[in-house]
A and B are shown apart, each in its own frame.
Chain A
Amino acid sequence: GQNIDQPTEMTATEGAIVQINCTYQTSGFNGLFWYQQHAGEAPTFLSYNVLDGLEEKGRFSSFLSRSKGYSYLLLKELQMKDSASYLCAPALNYGGSQGNLIFGKGTKLSVKP
């Protein structure tokens, strides 16, 4: 079966750094995506990791450990507009099911002044 676990809510202060953790168990694994979703809007792509290690993209970084089934998203220099839900999504790879994403319930991040 598929299982994704991430904290439900987090709060941080503007200008700070926050780390959102995600653990996963999936049948077949083909990398892990992070998406950002503002309330009532479409998810937008943040990052993709397929190999172990850290991928950095501006204020956002994402880390993956395949052996531990663990990933995190690191947000630096937080801004008010970063208040959103962050969705951890392993990509499956079994049979014909390549590329399907299984989304966690998301972590709702609130950034306070």
Chain B
Amino acid sequence: DSGVTQTPKHLITATGQRVTLRCSPRSGDLSVYWYQQSLDQGLQFLIQYYNGEERAKGNILERFSAQQFPDLHSELNLSSLELGDSALYFCASSPSGGGNNEQFFGPGTRLTVL
């Protein structure tokens, strides 16, 4: 158990819908990262937040957005869902945003878009 929690564990929805994925980092960690993992793409970095502010953006679509709240939990919002958005979404946390910080991954949310 990494100490990072993600809800829900599974999510099944239809195309065109909007969903929200939630992540609580390890106690004391200030940085949260979101990743998408699909079968053919591997683990893709989406976005990083540090202490409530966006720190870096990766391959995140405009239909996706995220935020980190004052209590440091984070939410990833996915809208106008497409079949291709079906994937495992991981959240990870680290103590700071530094490059030598190990990232601790949550168990993931499996999103299925029908």
Residues from chain A with Cβ under 8 Å of B45 in the complex: 100-103
Count of chain A residues with a beta carbon within 8 Å of a chain B beta carbon: 26
One digit per residue, 1 when the CB lies within 8 angstroms of any chain A CB and 0 when it does not, for chain B 33-77 equals: 101000001111100100000011010000000000000000000
Residues from chain B with Cβ under 8 Å of A50 in the complex: 100
Band of interface residues on B: 20 to 34
Q: Is A61 an interface residue (CB 8 A)?
A: no
- Kindly provide the distance from the CB of A53 to the nearest chain B CB, expressed in whole angstroms: 16
Whether A100 and B56, one on each chain, are in contact in the complex, defined by CB atoms closer than 8 angstroms, is: yes
Residues from chain B with Cβ under 8 Å of A96 in the complex: 55-56
A43 to B43, CA, bound (A): 10
- Kindly provide the distance from the CB of A57 to the nearest chain B CB, expressed in whole angstroms: 13
Whether B100 and A48, one on each chain, are in contact in the complex, defined by CB atoms closer than 8 angstroms, is: yes
Q: Is B106 an interface residue (CB 8 A)?
A: yes
Please name 14 further chain A to chain B contacts, defined as beta carbons within 8 Å, in addition to the given A98-B98, A103-B43, sorted by A numbering. Answer: A33-B103, A42-B90, A42-B105, A45-B102, A98-B97, A98-B99, A99-B48, A99-B98, A100-B33, A100-B56, A101-B103, A102-B45, A103-B45, A106-B42
